[in-house]
């Protein structure tokens, strides 16, 4: 089922024709599409997402399922932790730096690309977002129309198979697919939040042709008060020094 879902996404992205073969419908330029998309999320300054995360290893037919809490703060703060056990699996991104902790040990720290797929749906400066999209290889000089599932969408980027691109719903200006390098993100099950905007309750992340992670939101809080210390890499690193990690607070 997972492989079938991934194949459908790939087929949708690489083989579907233009919406119309007759005439030349006006297509918004990429800069304007991104501007309209960012307006959809302009009210989301901070976000807390409680989700069920499924990590799949299709080769070994294994699956891990756990609760996860995501904290986001505009423009570029991200924190992901296992619910109730933050040092079991903790990822923090701030600016250009990322800290990863697994099983109470620091497994990586340093310069890293940000979790761009999360920042698409957070208050952003359109120009800054355009720079990020260009940095991952999306051709911002090209936009076309395509169909994805049952929606007409703008395709920003090259249409050739395997090219980096962003699909945005033509009518709602909500992101549907982000693809670059060997990774692909599919956003679906959009639901209205606070009568102001929409957010995907399901995100599927795949890498190298295999669906590896699925995120199913169970609760989303818009604009909660989030302490900046949650993203303080230096502070959190100090808890995992030479003497070993400090125990989680009960």
Which residue segment(s) compose the domain that 61 sits in? 2-16+26-237
Would you tell me the crossing angle of helices 126-135 and 30-40 to the nearest 10 degrees?
120
Distance separating alpha carbons of residues 25 and 236, to the nearest angstrom: 52
User: Mean pLDDT throughout 51-55?
Assistant: 95
Identify the CATH number of the domain in which residue 119 sits: 2.50.20.10
Predicted local distance difference test score (pLDDT) of residue 138:
98
List Cβ<8 Å contacts ≥24 apart for 74-78.
74/44, 74/45, 74/46, 74/122, 74/123, 74/124, 75/119, 75/122, 75/123, 75/124, 75/125, 75/128, 76/114, 76/119, 77/228, 77/231, 78/114, 78/115, 78/118, 78/119, 78/231
Residue 250, domain member (yes or no): no
Predicted local distance difference test score (pLDDT) of residue 155:
98
Residue 213 sits at the vertex; the CA angle it makes with 79 and 114, to the nearest 5 degrees, is: 40
Q: What is the DSSP letter of 247?
A: P
Q: Can you give the pTM of this predicted structure?
A: 0.84
Render pLDDT for 126-166 as a digit per residue (tens, 0 to 9). 999 999 999 999 999 999 999 999 899 999 999 998 899 99
Number of domains in the chain: 1
Chain length of the chain: 250
Residue 246, domain member (yes or no): no
Residue 123, domain member (yes or no): yes
């Amino acid at each position: 089922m997972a492989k079938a879902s991934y194949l459908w996404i790939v087929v949708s992205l690489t083989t579907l024709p233009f919406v119309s073969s007759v005439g030349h419908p006006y297509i918004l330029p990429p800069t304007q599409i991104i501007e309209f998309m960012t307006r959809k999320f302009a009210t989301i300054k901070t976000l807390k997402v409680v989700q069920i995360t499924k990590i799949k290893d299709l080769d070994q037919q294994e699956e891990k399922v756990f609760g996860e809490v995501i904290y986001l703060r505009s423009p570029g703060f991200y924190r992901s932790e296992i619910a109730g056990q933050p040092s079991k699996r903790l990822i923090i991104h701030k600016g250009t730096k990322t800290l990863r902790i697994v099983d109470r040990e620091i497994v990586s720290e340093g310069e890293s690309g940000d979790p761009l797929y999360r920042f698409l749906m957070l208050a952003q400066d359109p120009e800054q977002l355009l720079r990020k999209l260009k940095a991952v290889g999306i051709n911002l000089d090209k936009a076309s129309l395509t169909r994805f599932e049952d929606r007409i969408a703008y395709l920003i980027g090259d249409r050739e198979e395997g090219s980096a691109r962003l699909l945005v719903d033509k009518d709602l200006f909500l992101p549907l697919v982000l693809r670059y390098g060997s990774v692909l993100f599919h956003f679906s099950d959009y639901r209205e939040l606070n009568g102001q905007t929409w957010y995907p309750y399901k995100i599927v992340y795949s890498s190298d042709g295999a669906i590896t992670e699925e995120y199913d939101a169970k609760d989303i809080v818009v604009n909660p008060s989030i302490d900046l210390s949650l993203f303080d890499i230096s502070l959190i690193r100090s808890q995992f020094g030479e003497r070993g990690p400090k125990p989680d607070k009960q």
